[in-house]
Amino acid sequence: MKKNSKLKVLVNIAILAGMVGIILYLVQNSLADIFAELRSTSFMVLAGVLIIGTISLLTEGQAIKEISKHFEPSFSRQDGFWTSCYVAFYRIITFGTGTLVSEVYFYRKKGLKPSQGVGVTTLHMVMYKFAVITYAVVSLIIQFSLFYSNSPKMIPFILAGMILTIVLIIALLALSSSVNLQVFLIIVANRLFKSPKIRGWVDTCNLQIYSLRDTVNTIMQDRTAVWRIYTWNLLKLALWYIIPYFVLMGKHSDLDFLQAFSFTSFAVILSGVVPTPGGIGSFEFVYLLLLRPIVGTVDAISSVLLYRFGTFVLPFLFGFVYVLVEKRKKIQEEIQEVKKERKAMSNE
C-alpha cells in the first residue's frame, strides 16, 4: 500500500511536469506570436480585451449552469466558468483531442452522471452553434449588398458554412433525442456485427444513448431554460465579436462597427469550410481575407492575435491555474497519505 501511495505521488508530479513542459513548448512556438503581440499592445487595449474575454467566460458559465442545474442543483455560475476554462486548457494541451472528454469529466467531478455530462456537453455545443448561425444570418442580411458588389464569390462559402452548421445541429439533436434514429442504428448494427463482443459494445452504447436522450429531453422540455441558454450564448458571442472593433477603433476611427462585427461572425462560421494554406488557421485566414483590405495587413494581424488571446488563450490560462491548484491539492493529499502510512508502520 505504501508503495502504491508513493507511486501515485510520483505519477501526479510527472503529469504536472509534463503539462508544464507542453505549455512551455506552446508558449515558445504556436502561442509565441500572441504573447509577442501582447508585449507591444497598449495597456488600455490589453485591459479591455482581458475584461471582455473574462465577461464572455462568465456568460458562458451562466449558460452551462442553466443546463447543468437540471441534474445538479448546486452547480453554480462559478462552476460553469471553471468548466469553460478547464475545457479550454485541455483543448490546447491535448491539441484538441481531449476537449469533449475533459468537459464530460469535469461534470462528473461536480456530481453529474456520465450520460448527463454527455447530454450537457451536447446541448452546450448545439446552443453555441445556434448562436453562431444566428449572427451569421443577420450579418449576411446586413452586409449582403456589400458582399454582392465586392466579394460575390464569398457568398456561396458563407451559405455552405451555414448549411454545414445546420446539418451538425440536426445530427446532434437527432442522435440525442430521436427514438426512431436510435432504433434504426441498432437494427443496422445488429445486421452488420455478429461478434458477441461487438454486440455487447453496441448494447452498452445503446444504453448510453438512451440515457443521453433522457437527459436532453429533460432540459428541452423546459422551454424557458432553452431560451435562457440560447440568449447567454448570443451574449457570449457578441462579446467575442466586438473584440476586433475594440482593438482597431483607436487607429481606424472610420471603421464601421457592424462591418467588423459581421466579418468576425463570417470568419467563425467559415472556419471549418474554407480550405486554407499550410501554417495558418482557417479562422485566421478568413478573418485576414476580409479585414486586411480595410485596415491593412499589420493591424489586421494584430487584431486577430488579440482576438485569439481573448477567446482562446485567456480561458486556457485560467484553466491552467485551476488545474495547477487541483493537482497541488491532490499531490499534498497523497503526500499526507504516505506520511500516515509511514507513521502507522513505525507504530507497529
**DSSP states along 189-206:** HHHH---HHHHHHHHHHH
In a domain, 76, yes or no: yes
Q: What are the pLDDT digits (tens) for 181-219?
A: 666 766 776 677 666 666 666 666 665 666 667 777 777
- To the nearest whole percent, how much of the chain has pLDDT over 70? 82
Calpha distance 120→340 (Å, rounded)? 40
Inter-residue contact 261 to 139 (CB < 8 Å)? yes
Calpha distance 320→87 (Å, rounded)? 10
Inter-residue contact 310 to 245 (CB < 8 Å)? no
| Helix H or strand E segment including 326 | helix 314-347
Mean pLDDT for the chain overall: 83
Closest-CA residue to 60 (of 231, 309, 236, 226): 236
Q: 217 — phi, psi (to 5°)?
A: -65, -35
Residues near 57 by Cβ (< 8 Å), separated by ≥ 6?
81, 84, 85, 314, 315, 318
pLDDT band per the 50, 70, 90 thresholds, residue 279: very low
Q: What are the pLDDT digits (tens) for 246-277?
A: 999 988 888 999 999 999 999 998 886 655 54
Q: Structurally, how many domains does the chain consist of?
A: 1
3-state SS assignment for residue 271: coil
pLDDT band per the 50, 70, 90 thresholds, residue 278: very low
Cell readout for 56 is: 464572455
Cell readout for 330 is: 491532490
pLDDT band per the 50, 70, 90 thresholds, residue 222: confident
The whole-model pTM stands at 0.84
In a domain, 348, yes or no: no
In a domain, 319, yes or no: yes
**pLDDT of the residue at 147:** 78
DSSP state of 71: T
Inter-residue contact 177 to 209 (CB < 8 Å)? no
In a domain, 286, yes or no: yes
In a domain, 173, yes or no: yes
Q: Is the pLDDT of residue 3 over 60?
A: no
In a domain, 27, yes or no: yes
In a domain, 347, yes or no: no
Range of the domain at 76: 2-254+266-335
**pLDDT of the residue at 1:** 46
What is the C-alpha R_g of the chain? 23
In a domain, 331, yes or no: yes
**pLDDT of the residue at 277:** 46
